[in-house]
Amino acid sequence: MNESARSEERPAGVRERRKARTRADLTTQARMLTVQRGLHGFTVEELCERVGVSRRTFFNYFPTKEDAVVGHADDGLDDDVLAAFRAARPKGCTGISPTLLGDLVRMVVEQSGRTGFSQAEACAFATAIHREPQLLARIVHTGPERERAFAELIADREGVEADHPVVTAAVVVFAGLLHRAAARYFQADNTRPHAEILTELLAGAQELFRQDLSP
């Protein structure tokens, strides 16, 4: 690639990262406001003021306030966490890498500690979601979309198709365990961090899959 091409690519990459950051900031603040006031207790204008963007910019990212609260499927992982996952693939291997499971665990556990919510705020947000039927319905609707994005991430790193059996198994297992970890984390009497609960469940899955699958 010549120097002029590289110079064009770099600003484009910077712009995309800035747009992703703004979109993620809108979701973070929308969730904070939902916790504090409920979905109908704040306006799009107030949300924009918190993030420092215009109303017009908001609608470039999200069609409604509810969509901002739910968030975009591509905003699940921070850029540095995603880059570390991609870079962790051993050089020179083909097909499914021998470190995939460990790298996935590290990526998910690392990200779980970056929600920006305290446990009390996270519990309050979960409660707010269940009080707002339209939010709960939207989150359920986006589940398959997020799973597809997760499958594409793994497949891209491993150089296989998104419907590869290992990719499919990883998505199903991680999605299920993330859901279970969240349920335990949000229990009123819980005192353990989300990452600790998730790691324990992942270790249990690893022990299970060590068993012989012969009939």
Extract the tokens encoding 95: 């097909």
Residue 163 tokens read as 């419907």
5 pLDDT higher than 80: no
How far is it, in rounded angstroms, from Cα 113 to Cα 97? 26
Whose structure tokens read 């859901």? 179
Alpha carbon 2 to chain centroid, angstroms? 35
State what percent of residues in the chain have pLDDT above 70: 86
Chain center to CA of 213: 32
User: Is the pLDDT higher at 80 or at 200?
Assistant: 200
Name the average pLDDT for the chain. 84
- pLDDT of amino acid 9: 46
Rg (CA), the chain: 19
| Three-state DSSP class for residue 196 | helix
Residue 208: the pLDDT is 92
Dump pLDDT digits (tens) for 43-67: 999 999 999 999 999 999 999 998 8
DSSP 26-61: HHHHHHHHHHHH-GGGS-HHHHHHHHT--HHHHHHH
CB 150 within 8 A of CB 175: yes
pLDDT digits (tens, 9 = 90+) for 108-119: 888 876 655 566
> What average pLDDT score do residues 190-195 get?
85
Is pLDDT at 99 greater than 60 in this prediction? yes
Q: Output the furthest CA–CA distance in the chain (Å, rounded).
A: 62
Helices (H) and strands (E) in the chain, counts: 10, 0
Between CA 199 and CA 215 the distance in angstroms is 30
pLDDT of residue 75: 65
Q: What is the pLDDT of residue 51?
A: 94
